[in-house]
């Protein structure tokens, strides 16, 4: 059985803490997981209504410098925001300065609100998937070749040069669950990412992913399965209620329980082939969940 690895998705900003308090809590969390978790992740959005929201690439670069023991990745980059050749260059640079710790998470883009607000074109879903396909072709070419020329329907580069090359080439993680995205994942990705909310729904997604892999002649076992998942963990019900009462945001609570209960909740997901979890540790700036995931849940999962 593959070793289970955790990555932390820290909060995106705070409306209740001062900047100094928020940054102190963030640094404390990073220090706690260093040497235990594998990675730290940050999304790539510009706004969600009027919620405080830090920009993803800038934030992740800062986190990489704070805790160099951790790998870093976006969950996930919106391909609508950046020219793909420029993105390839940015990724190659980040891979260089972090000494190989970057994971290239990317998706087609889905939130129309922020694109309208920031005057970024937001085409239909079919075009977004086609644009991502071309973007990935350009990025992979620039990471491996010199003097790249590509003429696509939506993107073009002419004699593009990217040095230093990323070493190693970052794993490409693509998030998606619709049929066309699943086929794109099967063609281009090293890792697949989905948001976990329900076991039966996830089983259906895994079956569709396996089918997409077979349709392009790929062994599904060569594609790493990863999941973004929320967790609330405490040693007793009173503390759990205290943490979950603070919950806010557009997504559900996720997995909730004591360390032993969370281990049992993770097991059927792991049995589906998932071995990497990007975790939102609920209750921040209270770090109880993060501490128990680090020192009790993760070791128990790898002692199976």
pLDDT at 20 over 80: yes
pLDDT at 248 over 80: no
- How does pLDDT run across 118-141, given as a tens digit for each residue? 999 999 999 999 999 999 999 999
Q: CB-based contacts of 119: which residues, under 8 Å, 6+ apart?
A: none
pLDDT at 147 over 90: yes
Cis peptide before 168 (omega within 30 of 0): yes
pLDDT at 298 over 70: yes
pLDDT of residue 246: 82
**End-to-end alpha carbon distance in the chain:** 9
Judge whether 178 and 204 are in contact, CB under 8 Å. no
Q: CB-based contacts of 115: which residues, under 8 Å, 6+ apart?
A: 80, 109, 121, 122
pLDDT of residue 196: 95
Alpha helices in 75-150 (DSSP H): 84-97, 112-117, 125-144
What's the rounded Cα separation, in Å, for the pair 116 and 66? Answer: 33
Both tokens of 210, joined, read 């396996």
Architecture of domain 5-301: Alpha-Beta Barrel (3.20)
Helix and strand tally (H, E) in the chain?
Answer: 11, 12
What's the rounded Cα separation, in Å, for the pair 137 and 79? Answer: 13
pLDDT of residue 1: 63
Both tokens of 148, joined, read 């790249």
pLDDT of residue 2: 83
pLDDT of residue 16: 87
Backbone φ and ψ of 107, nearest 5°: -145, 175
- How does pLDDT run across 82-130, given as a tens digit for each residue? 999 999 999 999 999 999 999 999 999 999 999 999 999 999 999 999 9
The domain ranges of the chain are: 5-301
Judge whether 216 and 208 are in contact, CB under 8 Å. no
- How does pLDDT run across 165-194, given as a tens digit for each residue? 999 999 999 999 999 999 999 999 999 999
What's the rounded Cα separation, in Å, for the pair 175 and 106? Answer: 7
Question: If we measure between CA atoms, which residue out of 110, 173, 111 comes closest to residue 139?
Answer: 173
pTM attached to this predicted model:
0.96
Q: What percent of the chain has pLDDT over 70?
A: 99
């Amino acid at each position: 059985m593959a070793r289970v690895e955790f990555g932390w998705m820290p909060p995106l900003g705070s409306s209740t803490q001062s900047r100094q308090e928020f940054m102190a809590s963030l640094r404390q969390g990073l220090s706690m997981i260093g040497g235990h978790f594998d990675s730290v992740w940050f999304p790539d959005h510009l706004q969600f209504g009027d919620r405080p929201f830090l920009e993803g690439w800038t934030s992740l670069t800062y986190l990489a410098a704070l805790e160099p023991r951790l790998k870093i990745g976006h969950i996930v980059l919106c391909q609508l925001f950046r020219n793909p050749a420029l993105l390839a260059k940015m990724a190659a640079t980040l891979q260089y300065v972090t000494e190989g710790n970057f994971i290239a998470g990317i998706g087609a883009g889905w939130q129309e609100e922020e694109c309208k607000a920031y005057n970024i074109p937001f085409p239909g879903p079919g075009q977004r998937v086609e644009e991502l396909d071309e973007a990935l072709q350009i990025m992979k070419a620039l990471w491996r070749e010199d003097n790249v020329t590509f003429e696509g329907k939506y993107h073009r580069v002419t004699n593009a040069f990217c040095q230093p090359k990323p070493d190693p080439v970052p794993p490409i993680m693509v998030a998606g669950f619709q049929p066309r995205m699943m086929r794109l994942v099967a063609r281009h990705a090293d890792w697949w990412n989905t948001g976990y909310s329900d076991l039966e729904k996830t089983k259906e997604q895994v079956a569709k992913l396996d089918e997409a892999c077979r349709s392009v002649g790929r062994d599904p076992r060569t594609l790493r399965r990863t999941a973004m998942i929320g967790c609330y963990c405490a040693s007793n019900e009173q503390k759990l209620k205290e943490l979950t009462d603070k919950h806010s945001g557009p997504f559900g609570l996720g997995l909730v329980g004591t360390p032993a209960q969370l281990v049992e909740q993770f097991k059927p997901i792991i049995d589906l082939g998932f071995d990497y979890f990007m975790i939102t540790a609920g209750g921040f700036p209270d770090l109880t969940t993060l501490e128990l995931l680090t020192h009790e849940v993760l070791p128990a999962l790898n002692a199976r």
